[in-house]
Amino acid sequence: MTTVIDGKQVAASVIDAVKTASQVLTEQTGVKTGLAVVIVGNDPASHAYVSSKSKMAKECGFTSVQHTLPEETTQEELAALVQTLNTDETLHGILVQLPLPKHFNSEAIVQSILPEKDVDGLHVVNAGKLATGDLDGGLVSCTPAGAMVFVKRTHGEDLSGLNAVVIGRSNLFGKPMAQLLLAANATVTIAHSRTKDLAAVCRNADILVAAVGRPEMVKADWVKPGATVIDVGINRIAAPEKGEGKSRLVGDVAFEECAKVAAVITPVPGGVGPMTIAMLMANTVIAAYRKAGRTAPKF
């Protein structure tokens, strides 16, 4: 019987742990965890994400600050705002919602956030700490951190002897995911669009993580029987069966057929997606603990 991971349920358990940690920190030190979210422009999807992040921060008992800036904001104005947030002692996390409007140098903005407040885990200092195995010193990018929660709840903390394959080499997901698996002692292969005989590489994986952005690319014959399959893809495809012009969300894994071969699999939607915001909250409370000189909780 295949286990389908319920991402909402796992995310809810992480949020519960965050609420407790946040409360304990306030009771013991008087420090209230603070998160600032910055959004520029009118992208409806970004606005939806930001409002759910701000809402969740309030639910966790954080001080939640949101800055909504007009499309025509300049690079200098945004940089100045980030600098102000960097120096604000009441804020432990800063998140600038990406993508920024086209006239911005996004990378310069992301790198201007203090590494210890970079709850998205995108600063080169945090990427470097992860790459050198310093999991307790940096902040890990939220989506791979969330996917790793699934892996550890399935296989335990130590992945010694297990083969893991990550399809995708992006800085946002593929590389940090591979580093996390490596830190847990898995034997890791990073595969991508240029990999020769990708299906054969995937068939060797006890843990297969797909993050390529190609709808339902991973087929059943790519999956080792009994493997754990983590699908990070979010692709919108036409769904004429729902009516003209309708679409539906699918992952990078052909779910129905792969679920017959895998032992554990994540669905899309409802798998890794809900974990991203949960891990953002986890990173924020971790940052608050470190700032207060306390040992940060693990999630």
Q: Which residues does the annotation mark as catalytic?
A: 53, 97, 120
CA atoms lying within 13 Å on the CB side of residue 75: 10
Give kind and range of the element (H or E) at residue 290: helix 273-291
Nearest CA among 55, 59, 171 for reference residue 120:
171
Contact assessment for residue 33 and residue 176, using Cβ atoms and an 8 Å cutoff: no
Query: What does DSSP say about strands 163-167 and 247-250: parallel, antiparallel, or unpaired?
Result: unpaired
Contact assessment for residue 281 and residue 266, using Cβ atoms and an 8 Å cutoff: no
Question: What is the DSSP secondary structure assignment for residue 224, as one 8-state letter?
Answer: P
Contact assessment for residue 47 and residue 59, using Cβ atoms and an 8 Å cutoff: no
Question: What is the DSSP secondary structure assignment for residue 23, as one 8-state letter?
Answer: H
Find the angle CA(292)-CA(96)-CA(107) to the nearest 5 degrees. 110
Q: Is 115 helix (H, G, I), strand (E, B) or coil?
A: helix
